[in-house]
């Protein structure tokens, strides 16, 4: 479908780029190495199943949930450039 000044498939290209950027950011934040037996934050024992399931786990489930809430939105900029997003 012709869209004027943008090429066909441009919207899908933006979506693909957003997904690729989000995955790259998450992978760069992922811990590596051996898992800890106790949480870095609260020193609660991390269950063996969690240690084996997630390589390099550093936090218990409760502390990880808090960390995820604090991280907020992963997006650093808006490729779409809508008027609403520019007013923020």
Stated pTM of the model? 0.53
DSSP label of 56: T
Residue 59, in any domain of the structure? yes
Domain coverage including residue 46: 33-71
Give residue-wise pLDDT tens across range 35-75.
999 999 999 999 999 999 888 899 999 999 998 888 765 55
Residue 62 lies inside a defined structural domain of this protein:
yes
Number of domains forming the structure of the chain: 1
Instruction: Give the other-Cβ count within 10 Å of 79's Cβ.
Output: 12
Residue 39 lies in a domain: yes
Q: Give me the DSSP letters along 16-39.
A: HHHHHHHHHHHHHH---SSPPSB-
Residue 8 included in any domain: no
> Which two three-digit tokens encode residue 26?
């998450």
- pLDDT over threshold 70, residue 4: no
Is 44 a domain residue?
yes
- Domain-embedded: residue 37: yes
Q: How far apart, in whole angstroms, are the C-alpha atoms of residue 50 and residue 52?
A: 5
């Amino acid at each position: 479908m012709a869209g004027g000044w943008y090429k066909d498939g441009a919207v899908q290209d933006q979506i693909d780029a957003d997904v690729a950027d989000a995955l790259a950011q998450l992978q760069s934040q992922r811990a590596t190495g051996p898992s800890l037996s106790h949480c870095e934050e609260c020193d609660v024992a991390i269950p063996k199943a969690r240690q084996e399931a997630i390589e390099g786990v550093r936090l218990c489930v409760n502390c990880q949930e808090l960390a995820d809430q604090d991280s907020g939105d992963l997006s650093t900029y808006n490729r779409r450039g809508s008027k609403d997003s520019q007013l923020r």
